[in-house]
């Protein structure tokens, strides 16, 4: 006789019960890794593009992308299968490594690859996420992703004017093919496998930083600091001399702030050189980069208001040219534990003098600059030991920092002072001209 009982159903597995959560965790994890890789690689645009406003914009986008990655990680960790590590899978990392481009490539073409291929694909991935998740069950993720969609749309609008007329068709096709091999960032599209002849150029020729940074149309020099008022715009002793007119000091400190463009150029080189660093290190580096960008903008925007023609202000290249010859943990040590840590006494005197002018805007900008720099030194104390460990440096921190100061002097003897003045003293901004401009003579 045939059995009449219903066969027992297999017991549901934990994975089966949580399938919906697990799938959203998988997508959030991919989005986190993509944003993290943008933060690692997009800073390579900063020192290669020339226009200050474009540098500032890329720094802003890197910082905002770091925020996306951090929120994705926090939300993802609320979902059981997101994972506790921060590693990035090789299939994603190699696309971003390729996007950094060839060492001598047109920087605007490389920017077009990031902003006209990879970023639009990220926007499409975020939009896909919104179509496949439940708007109520996954409400926390949905609200985050909606904000990120708005950010990505704005990033594309903000970058568009800078890429008008740039012929990047070949490079964009190259990156599109790499992305199509994945079926889009989330694998949501039909996969188009790469041809066997596809050339991963970064694997053949690893990316290296240029020997000097790009400042576009602006005149150049080795350093804006010096001791000769007929030659240099910032005369070091004048900054702390009580006899110096406060109006002169205000212009000089704005030149100093604008030249924090040096900092964004050389700090940006640290990101791709520390691929194995924890994400929180890159998150703080991204904030540091954005802060320095804002500080440079303080000078860039205020100097013309005080009557300074920016085309007479030479841009100093020494710090980039020297530091790019040193490994990343030495670059970071010099920045945080030397340049920034030792700037406070002079800047305190400068702030006190500028307050004599009853210039609320200047007071505000200098106060925020000081607050940010204090945070940057804290970052140095927090992350320099970990960065040293990444490169096998086992000396005590203080010993390493002192040795790095000495090494900087040695490297500077070879690579410093090599950029001649683009403008004659009769044309370029000098301290004597600042005195006349401010009416302090």
Reading the chain (441 residues) residue by residue, the pLDDT tens digits are 455 566 666 656 666 778 888 999 999 999 999 999 999 999 999 999 999 999 999 999 999 999 999 999 999 999 989 998 999 999 999 999 999 998 789 999 999 999 999 999 999 999 999 999 999 999 999 999 999 999 999 999 999 999 999 999 999 999 999 999 999 999 999 999 999 999 999 999 999 999 999 999 999 999 999 999 999 999 999 999 999 999 999 999 999 999 999 999 999 999 999 999 999 999 999 999 999 999 999 999 999 999 999 999 999 999 999 999 999 999 999 999 999 999 999 999 999 999 999 999 999 999 999 999 999 999 999 999 999 999 999 999 999 999 999 999 999 999 999 999 999 999 999 999 999 999 987
State the average pLDDT for the chain: 95
Cβ atoms of 354 and 246 within 8 Å: the answer is: yes
Backbone angles phi, psi at 10, to 5 degrees: -60, 145
Q: In 3D, which of 310, 302, 291 has the Cα closest to residue 354? A: 302
Domain boundaries, the chain: 20-204, 220-438
Contacts of 353 (CB under 8 A, 6+ apart): 244, 246, 249
Q: What is the pTM of this model?
A: 0.94
Contacts of 67 (CB under 8 A, 6+ apart): none
**Res 3: pLDDT:** 54
Element (H, E) at 261: helix 261-268
Distance of CA 345 to the CA centre of its chain: 27
164 Ramachandran zone, left/alpha/beta (phi>0; psi -120 to 50): beta
SS3 221: strand
Rounded CA-CA distance 267/319 in Å is 11
SS3 203: helix
**Res 131: pLDDT:** 96
Element (H, E) at 315: strand 315-316
Rounded CA-CA distance 146/397 in Å is 43
Rounded CA-CA distance 4/7 in Å is 9
| Fold held by 20-204 | Ferritin (1.20.1260)
Q: Are strands 315-316 and 220-221 parallel, antiparallel or unpaired?
A: parallel
């Amino acid at each position: 006789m045939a059995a009449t009982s219903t066969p027992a159903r297999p017991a549901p597995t934990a994975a089966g019960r949580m399938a919906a959560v697990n799938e959203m965790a998988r997508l959030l994890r991919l989005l986190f890794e993509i944003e993290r890789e943008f933060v690692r690689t997009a800073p390579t645009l900063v020192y290669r593009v020339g226009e200050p406003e474009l540098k500032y914009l890329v720094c802003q986008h890197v910082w905002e992308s770091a925020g996306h990655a951090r929120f994705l990680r926090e939300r993802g960790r609320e979902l059981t299968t997101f994972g506790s590590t921060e590693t990035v899978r090789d299939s994603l990392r190699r696309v971003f490594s390729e996007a950094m481009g060839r060492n001598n490539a047109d920087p605007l073409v490389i920017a077009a690859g990031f902003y006209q291929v990879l970023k639009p694909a990220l926007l499409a991935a975020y939009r896909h996420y919104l179509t496949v998740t439940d708007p109520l069950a996954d409400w926390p993720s949905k609200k985050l992703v909606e904000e990120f969609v708005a950010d990505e749309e704005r990033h594309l609008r903000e970058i568009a004017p800078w890429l008008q007329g740039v012929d990047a068709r070949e490079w964009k096709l190259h990156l599109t093919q790499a992305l199509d091999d994945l079926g889009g960032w989330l694998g949501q599209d039909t996969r188009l496998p790469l041809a066997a002849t596809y050339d991963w150029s970064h694997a053949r020729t690893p990316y290296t930083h240029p020997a000097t940074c790009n400042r576009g149309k602006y005149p150049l020099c080795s350093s804006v600091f010096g001791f000769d008022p007929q030659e240099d715009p910032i005369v070091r002793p004048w900054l702390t001399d009580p006899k110096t007119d406060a109006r002169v000091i205000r212009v000089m400190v704005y030149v100093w702030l604008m030249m924090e463009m040096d900092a964004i150029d050389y700090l940006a080189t640290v990101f791709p050189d520390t691929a194995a660093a924890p994400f929180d290190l890159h998150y703080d580096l991204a904030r540091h980069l954005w802060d320095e960008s804002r500080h440079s903008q303080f000078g860039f925007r205020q100097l013309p208001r005080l009557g300074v023609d920016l085309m007479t202000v030479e841009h100093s290249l020494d710090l980039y040219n020297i530091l790019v010859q040193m490994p990343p943990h030495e670059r970071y040590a010099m920045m945080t534990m030397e340049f920034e840590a030792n700037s406070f006494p002079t800047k305190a005197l400068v702030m006190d003098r500028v307050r004599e002018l009853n210039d609320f805007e200047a007071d505000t900008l200098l106060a925020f600059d000081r607050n940010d720099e204090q945070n940057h030194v804290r970052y140095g104390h927090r992350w320099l030991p970990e960065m040293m460990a990444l490169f096998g440096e086992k000396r005590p921190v203080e010993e390493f920092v002192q040795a790095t100061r000495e090494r900087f002097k040695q490297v500077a003897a070879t690579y410093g002072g090599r950029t001649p003045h683009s403008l004659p003293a009769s044309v370029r901004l000098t301290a004597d001209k600042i005195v006349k401009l401010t009416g302090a003579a």
